[in-house]
Amino acid sequence: MSNKVLIIGAGGVGRVVAYKCAQHRDVFGDIMLASRTKKKCDAIADSIYQAYGGRKIKTARLDADQVEQTIALLKKFQPDLVINVALPYQDLPIMDACLEMGVNYMDTANYEPKDVAKFEYSWQWAYQERYEKKGIMALLGCGFDPGVTSVYTAYAKKHYFDELHELDIVDANAGSHGKAFATNFNPEINIREVTQRGKYWENGQWIETEPHEIWKDIDYPEIGPKRSYLIFHEELESLVKHFPTLKRARFWMTFSEQYLTHLRVIQNIGMAGIEPVRFKGLDIVPLEFLKAVLPKPEELGENYTGFTSIGNRIKGIKDGKEATYYVWNNCSHVDAYRETGTQAVSYTTGVPAMIGARMILTGNWSGKGVFNVEQLNPDPFMERLNLDGLPWHEKHNLDLGM
């Protein structure tokens, strides 16, 4: 099989996707990595060449905000699939280019307009009919969360529950990078996400909270209790749609006191703002400027120790009786760095993106239109997680501690 994939975005996640695709020459025959800054693509291509016995991947410069540029690259390279791991702002222009050229599309984060800190699936679900008519597939949100957490939910429903009632996605980063403040993925996207109001699903409606208003000390396997805050996360929107028996769905993420203190200061002094500020004759967006001075997520890996732990805690009904289930993965920052030169947050996103791409290219996942990952067969994906670096563990009939 000689499939061609175009990876767009050469940040921490793009690096992992390129590495992991390069490991599987049988599925990913020809790989191109394109991004706004070509030298980042070249650096990744060079390190893959060194790491994998002369495996060559192609590189290109691309501003994916410009639909015409992406169309031109698609015409030239003729990929079977585009893996979009640039920023959420690029989702729609890349989807437009794929639609125009009849190329399958996937990403790891839903669209967000640059000038409003708001993420939801409506913009991308609106492509359903056009993708269906064109006979191509768009796979949305195939990182870890969303992505693996969505597959975990589908797997639980398929094998262990007749009805899902309560879902808690619990996401801990119990790692240490030694910096006073840094974000684990793109700082601009990360800060926009975590400073939003909280939101969860209960009894058929969304309940909003102040940012970080609700918290809990959650016990994570092999890590112990960590303070975890209820935040809104995009997979909640698609999961309550696709699993309508859910009475409650929440997402929890750990933040250290130090991280939250820095975040409060950043907000209080206006550095999280997304409105341009006139400075010395230039329009500067404070959050974009902040990104330029913060540590780069892809450079955090070298001294990162500890683990991430992300999983789903589920309560529901099986054969008329209440059942509980916990499925999770712990990922080591050190091991992720050793394998791909980057930390576990990029690793846990990039590996599932490669597996999703594999599912499409091998025909395990197929369909015409726009799909969230939980709509597809979870089994082959779960199998690959164990083989490709993100092994999972499960427990049944336990106290979920939620």
Q: Which of 3, 90, 104, 173 binds ligand NDP (CB under 6 A)?
A: 90
- Which residues does 244 contact at the CB level (< 8 Å), separation at least 6? none
Number of residues that bind ligand NDP (CB under 6 A): 34
d(CA 140, CA 84): 10
Nearer to ligand NDP, 3 or 186 (CB): 186
DSSP β-bridge partners for residue 369? 137
In whole angstroms, the minimum distance from the beta carbon of 8 to ligand NDP comes to 6
Q: Is 62 in the site for ligand NDP (CB under 6 A)?
A: yes
Nearer to ligand NDP, 323 or 373 (CB): 373
Q: Which of 28, 111, 144, 326 binds ligand NDP (CB under 6 A)?
A: 144
Packing angle between helix 378-387 and helix 148-160, nearest 10 degrees?
Answer: 120
Q: Is 57 in the site for ligand NDP (CB under 6 A)?
A: no
Q: Which of 9, 175, 316, 369 binds ligand NDP (CB under 6 A)?
A: 9
Q: Which of 13, 272, 327, 382 binds ligand NDP (CB under 6 A)?
A: 13
CB 345 within 8 A of CB 352: no
Q: Is 10 in the site for ligand NDP (CB under 6 A)?
A: yes
Nearer to ligand NDP, 10 or 314 (CB): 10
CB 86 within 8 A of CB 8: yes
Q: Is 286 in the site for ligand NDP (CB under 6 A)?
A: no
Part of the chain binding ligand NDP (CB under 6 A), chosen from 47-55, 137-145, 317-325, 389-397: 137-145
d(CA 155, CA 383): 11
Q: Is 11 in the site for ligand NDP (CB under 6 A)?
A: yes
d(CA 108, CA 87): 9
Cα 3 to Cα 99, 100, 141, distances in angstroms = 19, 20, 22
Determine phi and psi for 206, rounding to 5 degrees. Answer: -85, 130
Rounded to 5°, angle at Cα 263 from 260 and 269: 140
Rounded to 5°, angle at Cα 288 from 285 and 291: 150
Part of the chain binding ligand NDP (CB under 6 A), chosen from 32-40, 75-83, 128-136, 367-375: 32-40
Residues 300-359 touching ligand NDP, rule: CB under 6 A, are 346, 349
Chain contacts with ligand NDP (rule: CB under 6 A) = 8-14, 35-37, 40, 62-65, 85-88, 90, 108-109, 143-147, 185-186, 189, 297-298, 346, 349
